[in-house]
Amino acid sequence: MTMRKSRLIIALLINAVFTTQNLVHAQTTNLFDGKTLNGWQRVAGTADYKAENGEIVGTTVINSGNSFLVTKEVYRDFVLNLDAKIESTESNSGIQLRSHYNTEGHNGKVYGRQVEIDPSARAWSGGIYDEDRRQWLYPLDLNAKAKTAFKVGQYNHIKIECIGNETKTWINNIPVAYVVDTIDREGFIGLQVHAVTTAVQAGKKVYFKNIKIQTSNLKPSAFPADIYVVNNVPNFINNDEKAHGWKLLFNGKTSEGWRSATAATFPEKGWKVGDGLLTVLNSAGKEAANGGDIVTTDLYSAFDVSFDFKLTPGANSGLKYFVTLNEKTEGSAIGLEYQVLDDDLHPDAKLGRDGDRKLGSLYDLIPANKQARFIHPIGAWNTGRVVVYPNNHVEHYLNGIKVLEYDRGSKEFEHLVSLSKYKIWPNFGEAKAGHLLLQDHGNQVSFRSIKIKELH
């Protein structure tokens, strides 16, 4: 054998070894053998789980709490693929990720992130819920076009990525939800049968099969640029967000990017920057009488902006947009306003028309349509979001739920302005571009994680 042929054979053998190793590293493991529930255990409720015909079949039981069939093994980073089917629109289910059971504060209960299976008219399948803890992290109002991905009464393919502190979901190859979180880096995987309370709901089935997990050689999958990322890490945007055009408006350390609404510099008093927070200080409810409002140094026209805010009891503030600073006012500067308010204690909540001065509303123009369960209590963090599309369609969100929408410059909008306090300003709210503003209404309110993406 010639030296050249020997080298060629050795090279082919080495390549074969490496190829085999890569295949081993990338291979998936079956979490369900198709015949038994070996490796799984039922916890919490009393719903029935059986292995039959290559499927795990969960059946609802009346007056049981939420039930879970969970892996005995704990998982950290993984890609999970499975098929799921639910037969009734009156049922509900989900897939637990990096979850836990029966620890202090959660006696007898499972808690952790859950990928929702929601066959109801709400259609939030693939959204991310935090079981027995923070509730909804990624409701599908944030990605409405994915609501049609899940099909009731037939098997749906579900893909879930948990890599690092990021969770992504797909239903039938359609991207659904993307959460960057701060807690739970490992835990079990679980299959939920939801609690039911009526005889009509009892005996309904949910099916799972082809449950496969990959735990090594993991590579994050791309997600579309137009899908909003729920990022729970304060004052941080990840590489995907940066690549898709997002930037921080507050870096958590300085007032860079902000100035007084009445001067070229940041206020010397009335505002505090520290501990990752941008805080307007209390001045006994005197509007713009201490530090005054602050505005972005840049102007924006079409954009997606979100911000975390924390109210103190009875507090009032707001995020205003399309602020031109051309109007002459004695108090706060004029602009379209996402209202930030303690609805229970601040008197402004009882003024205006039909609640259009309450939290999340377009102040004095359109009330927010919100449910109490999606409002976090005073002293906790809430997330506001305003999207202004290039066609002047505008949406307000509160904690991921769309609470109102309207069209700037439409006849309906102009009619609402004519009924409001803004009617004295010509073409109110119709500027091509303007500042964003955080309001000093004389009450302590903190902000963080202010991020924006310009839309084109």
Q: 327 pLDDT band (50/70/90 cuts)?
A: confident
Domain of 134, in residue numbers: 29-214
Q: How far is CA 140 from CA 124, 176, 339, in A?
A: 5, 8, 23
| Per-residue model confidence as pLDDT tens digits over 368-391 | 999 999 999 999 999 999 999 999
Report the C-alpha gap between 346 and 334 in whole angstroms: 21
| Per-residue model confidence as pLDDT tens digits over 419-428 | 999 999 999 9
**Mean pLDDT over residues 129-136, rounded?**
96
Q: How far is CA 80 from CA 129, 161, 162, in A?
A: 17, 6, 8
Among residues 353, 358, 349, 365, the alpha carbon closest in space to that of 428 is found at 365
Q: How confident is the model at residue 199, as a pLDDT? A: 85
Percent of the chain clearing pLDDT 70 (strictly above): 94
pLDDT at 52 over 80: yes
Please report, for the domain that includes residue 53, its CATH number. 2.60.120.560
**Mean pLDDT over residues 123-144, rounded?**
97
Q: Which residues contact 26 (CB under 8 A, 6 or more apart)?
A: 214, 216, 217
Whether residues 201 and 319 fall in one domain: no
Burial of 16 per CB tally in 10 Å (0-12, 13-18, 19+): exposed
| Side chain identity, residue 284 | A
Q: How confident is the model at residue 26, as a pLDDT? A: 56
- Total residues belonging to the chain: 456
135-138 vs 128-131, strand pairing mode: antiparallel
Q: Which two tokens stand for residue 37?
A: 């529930």
Report the C-alpha gap between 142 and 323 in whole angstroms: 26
Report the C-alpha gap between 173 and 156 in whole angstroms: 10
Q: Is residue 121 part of a domain?
A: yes
Whether residues 207 and 268 fall in one domain: no
Burial of 454 per CB tally in 10 Å (0-12, 13-18, 19+): middle
Which parts of 95-184 fold into alpha helices (H)?
Answer: none
Report the C-alpha gap between 127 and 94 in whole angstroms: 10
Contact by Cβ (8 Å): 406, 366: yes
Report the C-alpha gap between 337 and 351 in whole angstroms: 15
Helix or strand (DSSP H, E) at 339: strand 336-341
Whether residues 301 and 405 fall in one domain: yes
pLDDT at 274 over 80: yes
| Per-residue model confidence as pLDDT tens digits over 143-184 | 999 999 999 999 999 999 999 999 999 999 999 999 999 999
Whose structure tokens read 């599908």?
A: 140
Give the end of a domain, one of 194, 214, 234: 214
Whether residues 33 and 143 fall in one domain: yes
Q: How confident is the model at residue 430, as a pLDDT? A: 96
pLDDT at 99 over 60: yes
Q: Which residues contact 33 (CB under 8 A, 6 or more apart)?
A: none
Whether residues 258 and 388 fall in one domain: yes
Whether residues 122 and 179 fall in one domain: yes
Whether residues 130 and 269 fall in one domain: no
63: left (phi over 0), alpha (psi -120 to 50) or beta: left
Report the C-alpha gap between 445 and 25 in whole angstroms: 50
Contact by Cβ (8 Å): 81, 158: yes
* Domain total in the chain: 2
Q: How confident is the model at residue 271, as a pLDDT? A: 97
| Per-residue model confidence as pLDDT tens digits over 392-415 | 999 999 999 999 999 999 999 999
Whether residues 140 and 259 fall in one domain: no
Q: 1 pLDDT band (50/70/90 cuts)?
A: low
Q: How confident is the model at residue 30, as a pLDDT? A: 97
Give the end of a domain, one of 159, 190, 214: 214
Whether residues 141 and 253 fall in one domain: no
As a whole number, the mean pLDDT across the chain is 93
Q: How confident is the model at residue 7, as a pLDDT? A: 52
